[in-house]
Amino acid sequence: MKNQFSLSIIVLLTVLLFSFQLTKAQQKSGKTPNVIIILTDDQGYGDVGFNGCKDIPTPNIDRIADNGVKFTSGYVTYAVCGPSRAGIMTGRYQDRFGFGRNPLLAPNDTLQGLPSTEETLASVLERSGYSSMALGKWHLGTHKSQYPLNRGFDEFFGFLSGGHQYFPEEWTLNDISEIKAQFDGYRTRLMRNNGRVDEQEYLTDALSREAVSFIERNRSKPFFIYLAYNAPHAPLQATEKYLGRFNHIEDKKRRTYAAMVSAVDDGVGLVLNKLEELDIDDNTIVFFLSDNGGPEQHNASDNGLLREGKGSLYEGGIHVPFAMQWPGTVPAGMVYDKPVISLDMFATAVAYANAMPLNPIDGVNLVPYLSGQKEGVPHKALFWRKYDQKAYAVRKGDMKMVKYKSENDELYNLSDDISEQTALDLTGDKHYDDLKALYAGWEVQMQDPVFLGLMQNKQYTQLHSERYQIVNPYYPDVLSVKIPEGYELVWNDEFNVDGLPNKEYWSYETGFVRNKELQWYQPDNASVKGGLLCIEGRREQVKNPDYNRRSKSWRINRETAEYTSACIKTRDKFSFKYGIMEVRARIDTSMGMWPAIWTLGVNGRWPANGEVDQLEYYRHDGEAKLLANAAWANEKMQPVWDSAKIPFSDIVAKEPDWADKFHVWKMEWTEAYIRLYLDDELLNTIDLSKTINADGTNPFHQPQYILLNLAIGANGGDPSNTSFPRKYEVDYVRVFQQKNDKNL
């Protein structure tokens, strides 16, 4: 109760604060600012021009510091990638939600990554009307529920793992389903939104290009870009374009590292140029920082004067190059030396977006401090913890207490010892007692890690023998049947025996059948091979044996059919009432194709017998759509439809290679409703209290039989410019019913 009370006070105060934070630029434009976070990976503190780097020019990254402020005491919340990113993305110390380890690549594990209780900056900004894009390295979970589009982002271009190869020829794995070991994640094709694309550019260049394109497309609305370059993280790989700039560097490692930083710098230049060209630079907050310090031995980075590097709680691990610009609002050319932390980006962004995070945040809006509106320091103290190593650090003012790989606490005065060379005597030091008490007060609020991390890779694999076993979306399913809880498998065809479809299960439609479609149905076009039923659409002429040009029926007055295909059905062989039917298939989306998965009631004339279409793909009002419907009869024996129509363009926008993959269509049928799903997403619920035929009968309270077919023409569109043959492949059909409730 007490907590709730104080929380609501905080929320109230925050609301009041936010409402007073319109800046001059905002008053002028009346707009909420765009936010861009440019994050590099494993870059050393000393490896930017604005921190004095001599051998790697970074003129564009330096522009951010020149246009705004460089933070000389800028920190991240952790000394390696994953937890640091979790802090950035939530504005909260990641140990608050048990993210104290680097997450593993574990596509079946919903817990490896950001907990569902946490909001990303994209989610919060979305409530204020922002569009958002994540680019590059994600590293916040590889389960589907953790994909950027499921964590508040509108777009994604990049990869899920903790690192990646830079050259397209090394992206040899289709996607996460082909991964067999933790570091295979470096070799997957890149993702666009939820699907995979064939990218041809050097990774860093591709990320820059996509960021610029997003700015172009979203120039007129507020946007948030999380541009997470994986450069200059290992492997050290650069193109000649960038390597050629560093012939003066003899050390090959440092030379490649320099080239990688230079590629990022070019990308930062493209982003800044685009903002200026569109005249939105003074309405855009741009942050630049590295996710942790440089691992100097590993990638030839340079943390300058700072002690140690990546992984360490000495300054070299957590004290990073950090700059920010907001022209017109934050003074240009400023140097700010008070300690700030990556969490402050979230706090600053939401303050000016007038967006309200649901969770209390640890960051501070920096702008009032930079503009001089607020005196003092943004943070009373900053904290770090490495749970597995029992290591920690706390900084207040210039004083830092740290325990890292040592038996005892150490105390440093960073104002004259930034390299942490001379540990001060602890006995009786009032700073020490103060820092110790502050840390203890913070630490009790933290949670133990909720998942095993990179350091426990082996242990995790031993505990999860099926760690990487997920269905490969591009291939037939070879895993065992997954039976829904409380159900049993009552009928299935896995199409695992090559040859003709099983004649115990399936019969055929023949000739011209319905809807003035163009194809002639014949058994010859259905075959089973390699674990799949293949229905082939062909351009071939068949003479109509019933032809009579005087007939009024299209089935008879057509002399020939120009196309053939197949329709198979379980009529008189299998039907079922209530249960779950699941079909995994890869459909052909070419012009003219009309593939379908559907069921019909065993008794009565259509549509009074009841029709359910788990899938129809056709052109409706000239636009390709996926449909999920049911139909019954009105008094004129015309169909009454309950229909969901999903534009195919929406599906491809989220998943560019959707048509290359198999998908699962599911019908969940009870006495009360029929629910139709695509890949577990509910498309349509049909309320069976409304599906009453004109004669008072309910067609969905009788058994239905299954049909699979590829129609050509009619609603499918004109196939005359489409190449043939076309393929509609079905991996399996499964029917489950509740135990002790068989309604066959």
Task: Name the site residues for Ca ion (rule: CB under 5 A).
Answer: 41-42, 81, 291-292
Query: 394 with 437: CB under 8 angstroms?
Result: no
Question: Contact at 8 Å (CB) between 456 and 463?
Answer: no
Nearer to Ca ion, 88 or 627 (CB): 88
Which two three-digit tokens encode residue 505?
A: 């299960």
In angstroms, the CA 384 to CA 404 distance is 11
Q: Compute the least distance from the CB of residue 42 to Ca ion, in Å.
A: 4
Alpha-carbon distance of 143 to 621, in angstroms, equals 37
Tell me phi and psi for residue 657, to 5 degrees.
-100, 30
C-beta atoms surrounding 223 within 10 Å: 24
- Active-site annotation, residues: 81, 139
391 closest CA partner among 293, 292, 295, 314? 314
Long-range contact set of residues 296-300: C-beta below 8 Å, sequence gap at least 24: 296/44, 298/42, 298/234, 299/42, 299/232, 299/233, 299/234, 299/236, 299/253, 299/257, 300/236, 300/251, 300/253, 300/254, 300/256, 300/257
Of residues 435, 436, 395, 433, the one with CA closest to residue 415:
395
Q: Which two tokens stand for residue 601?
A: 């009631």
- Cβ proximity to Ca ion, 38 vs 364, nearer residue: 38
Closest Cα to residue 105, out of 173, 13, 14? Answer: 173
Runs of H (alpha helix) within 362-428? 367-370
Instruction: Round to whole Å and give the CA distance between 513 and 521.
Output: 8
- Crossing angle, helix 252-277 and helix 203-217, to 10 degrees? 10
8-state DSSP, 483: P
3 state SS for 688-721: CCCCCCCCCCCHHHCCEEEEEEEEECHHHCCHHH
Q: Residue 249: what are its φ and ψ, rounded to 5°?
A: -95, 120
Nearest to 727 by CA among 603, 600, 586, 596: 586
What's the rounded Cα separation, in Å, for the pair 10 and 4? 10
CB atoms within 10 A of CB 65: 25
- In the block, residue with structure tokens 């950001």: 114
What sections of 286-395 are H helices per DSSP?
296-299, 315-318, 343-352, 367-370
For the CB of residue 81, give the shortest distance to Ca ion in the complex, in Å: 4
The structure tokens listed for 99 are: 């993210």
Residue 464, both tokens = 């999860």
In the complex with Ca ion, which residue's Cβ is closer, 41 or 729?
41
CB 495 within 8 A of CB 531: yes
Sign, CA torsion 37/43/45/49: negative
Residue showing tokens 């003066």: 248
Cis peptide before 235 (omega within 30 of 0): yes
Distance CA 258, CA 256 (A): 5
Contact 431, 409 (CB under 8 A): no
Nearer to Ca ion, 136 or 339 (CB): 136
| Virtual torsion, Cα 527, 530, 534, 537, nearest 10 deg | -100
CB distance 243 to 259 below 8 Å: yes
CA 125 distance to own-chain centroid: 17
Distance of closest approach, residue 304 Cβ to Ca ion, in angstroms: 17
How many Cβ atoms are within 10 Å of 701's Cβ, its own excluded? 14
* Torsion angle, alpha carbons of 547, 550, 556, 560, to 10: 50
Comparing CA positions, the residue from 181, 203, 179 lying closest to residue 190 is 203
